[in-house]
């Protein structure tokens, strides 16, 4: 199966984590591998460089790194590498692939794939934890059990664990539009969560973005299963793009078959069976928007063989992912939440709606081509927003969508909420937030924008937030 790579000249474009994984996987199988990156060699992760050199893998970086692509038998692009740019290089399309495509071709077991604008990380981990719990239960009961692996956008690059898989293994992949845009196979269980608009700095328009997402369904057969979020048109209407058996999930309405929220319960409905899974008050992760992710995870885990008891154990203990509405701490009665992963208006709206307490919100950042109209309407109509700290290049566009123009903090106390601007770094942001907050309030970093104008990435933004919060003094 792997002999097709031996002595082939293969270019891996992108010297990040997945690029390193692809290069090592192919070199191990006898390929002649070169790693290409737009950064110069001295700008790349030197730990990666050391590993590549030990395996005699060439590194080509800097300007002109794509100029000799026609010399290679196969090109492996990393997710962030724009496929359209490579297609302009007079290459045969069949010579361009990705780690995701390779994994789908080589994987010996069924794949559960999860995509969506937001929620795919949380849902993927929930499915993984539920199946892990099921496997541990089976082994404790004297049964064989199975091995579960988590990869893709979250966890490990999937080629890293390919050699460990067998036909009884279970693989969960979190899949972005970048990874899905050119796949030719779909997962056995495909989950399409809330899908709106994202990455318009990469995709030509929203249609291209949604079409890329729908590839997770496009190549399914009648023996496969699809789980679609009924609450969002782009997801709900994707049932016409798959031949699989379709289940719907919703946090606002009943479904024909699937999983939904009703009277404060997560309810599973399959064929003629209706079963209450858990009271939503017992779910540990905060925010009603997470009920959508819970419903999708319950549905997928059920189809993959998990029992209600093992799903419930996970839902009662799972705290959520880092930088996703993560409780950083409570200081002087004020709770601080890191939702730095919120890079779209939709996720900020969901975070704002997660709390009834007075909120101090940090909003703004770099552009992703988002429309802030709905976010402005939500903020203008909210009764519990106490203050907003506006940061970054997109702040002016966000503020322009408010129906009322809040009075700046220094100009008086009669506005609907205070507005604080001109914070230059995270220290100033957290200091300003803590200066406004009182016991019982919530401080929420949910920027609705990318981070690159002020921070390295969303992780850096969230880590600095947590660091500054940890330095705050306790007030009597």
Between CA 18 and CA 23 the distance in angstroms is: 9
**Which runs of consecutive H residues, i.e. helices, occur in 194-344?**
206-218, 233-236, 290-303, 308-315
pLDDT of residue 405: 52
Asked whether the domain spanning 326-470 has the same topology as the one spanning 107-315, the reply is: no
- CA torsion sign for 444, 447, 448, 451 is negative
Question: CA 435 → CA 42, 332, 463, distances in Å?
Answer: 43, 12, 20
Q: Select from 402, 362, 407, 410 the least CA-distant residue to 382.
A: 402
Confidence (pLDDT) at 333:
96
Distances (CA, A) of 101 to 94, 159, 185, 248: 12, 11, 8, 27
pTM: 0.79
Residues facing residue 35 across a β-bridge: 12, 59
Q: Determine the pLDDT at residue 4.
A: 86
Q: What are the structural domain ranges in the chain?
A: 8-101, 107-315, 326-470
**Which numeric CATH code is attached to 107-315?**
3.40.1190.10
Burial of 200 (0-12, 13-18, 19+ CB in 10 A): middle
CATH number given to 8-101 = 3.40.50.720
Look at residue 319 in the predicted model and tell me its pLDDT. Answer: 84
- Per-residue confidence (pLDDT) for residue 443, from 0 to 100: 98
CA 241/CA 216 separation, integer angstroms:
9
Q: Going residue by residue through the chain (476 aa), what tens digit of pLDDT does each one get?
A: 567 899 999 999 999 889 999 999 999 999 999 999 988 988 888 888 999 999 999 999 998 888 888 889 999 998 878 777 676 655 655 688 999 999 999 999 999 999 998 889 999 999 999 999 999 999 998 888 899 999 998 878 999 999 999 999 999 999 998 899 889 999 999 999 998 865 555 556 788 889 999 999 999 999 999 999 999 999 999 999 999 999 999 999 999 999 999 999 999 999 989 999 999 999 998 888 899 999 999 999 999 999 999 999 999 999 888 898 898 999 999 999 999 989 989 889 989 988 989 999 999 999 888 899 999 999 998 889 999 999 999 999 999 999 765 544 433 333 579 999 999 999 999 999 999 999 999 999 999 999 999 999 999 999 999 999 999 998 75
* Separation of alpha carbons 145 and 136, rounded Å: 7
State the architecture of 326-470 in CATH terms: Alpha-Beta Complex (3.90)
Question: Taking the chain, what is the end-to-end CA distance rounded to the nearest angstrom?
Answer: 67
């Amino acid at each position: 199966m792997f002999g097709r790579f031996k002595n082939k000249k293969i270019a891996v474009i992108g010297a990040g984590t997945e690029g390193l994984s692809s290069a090592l996987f192919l070199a191990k199988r006898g390929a002649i591998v070169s790693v290409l990156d737009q950064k110069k060699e001295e700008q790349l992760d030197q730990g990666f460089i050391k590993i590549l050199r030990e395996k005699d893998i060439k590194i080509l970086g800097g300007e002109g790194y794509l100029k000799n692509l026609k010399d290679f038998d196969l090109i492996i692009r990393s997710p962030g590498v724009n496929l359209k740019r490579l297609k302009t290089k007079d290459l045969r399309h069949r010579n361009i692939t990705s780690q995701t495509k390779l994994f789908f071709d080589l994987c010996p077991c069924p794949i559960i794939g999860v995509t969506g604008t937001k929620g795919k990380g949380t849902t993927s981990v929930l499915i993984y934890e539920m199946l892990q719990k099921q496997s541990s239960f089976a082994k404790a009961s004297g049964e064989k059990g199975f091995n579960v692996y988590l990869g893709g956008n979250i966890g490990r690059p999937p080629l890293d664990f390919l050699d460990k898989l067998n036909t009884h293994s279970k693989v969960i992949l979190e899949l972005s539009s970048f990874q899905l845009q050119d796949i030719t196979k779909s997962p056995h269980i495909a989950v399409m969560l809330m899908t709106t608009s994202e990455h318009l700095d990469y995709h030509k328009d929203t249609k291209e973005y949604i079409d890329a997402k729908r590839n997770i369904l496009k190549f399914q057969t009648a023996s496969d299963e699809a789980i679609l979020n009924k609450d969002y048109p782009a997801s709900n209407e994707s049932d016409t793009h798959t031949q699989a058996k379709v289940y719907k999930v919703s946090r606002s309405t009943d479904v024909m078959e699937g999983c939904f929220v009703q009277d404060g319960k997560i309810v599973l409905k399959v064929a003629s069976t209706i079963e209450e899974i858990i009271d939503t008050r017992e779910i540990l992760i905060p925010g009603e928007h997470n009920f959508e992710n819970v419903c999708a995870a319950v549905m997928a885990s059920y189809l993959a063989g998990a029992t209600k008891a093992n799903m419930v154990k996970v839902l009662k203990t799972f705290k959520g992912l880092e930088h996703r509405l993560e409780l950083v701490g409570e200081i002087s009665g004020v709770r601080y939440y890191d939702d730095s992963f919120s890079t779209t208006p939709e996720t900020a709206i969901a975070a704002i709606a997660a709390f009834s307490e007075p909120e101090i919100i940090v909003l703004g950042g770099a552009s992703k081509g988002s429309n802030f109209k709905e976010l402005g309407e939500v903020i203008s109509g909210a009764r519990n927003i106490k203050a907003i700290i506006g940061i970054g290049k997109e702040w002016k566009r966000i503020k322009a969508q408010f129906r009322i123009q809040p009075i700046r903090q220094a100009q008086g106390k009669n506005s609907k909420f205070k507005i604080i601007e001109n914070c230059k770094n995270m220290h100033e942001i957290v200091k300003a937030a803590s200066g406004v907050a009182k016991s019982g309030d919530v401080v929420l970093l949910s920027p609705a924008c990318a981070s690159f104008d002020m921070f390295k990435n969303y992780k850096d933004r969230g880590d600095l937030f947590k660091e500054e919060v940890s330095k705050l003094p306790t007030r009597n």
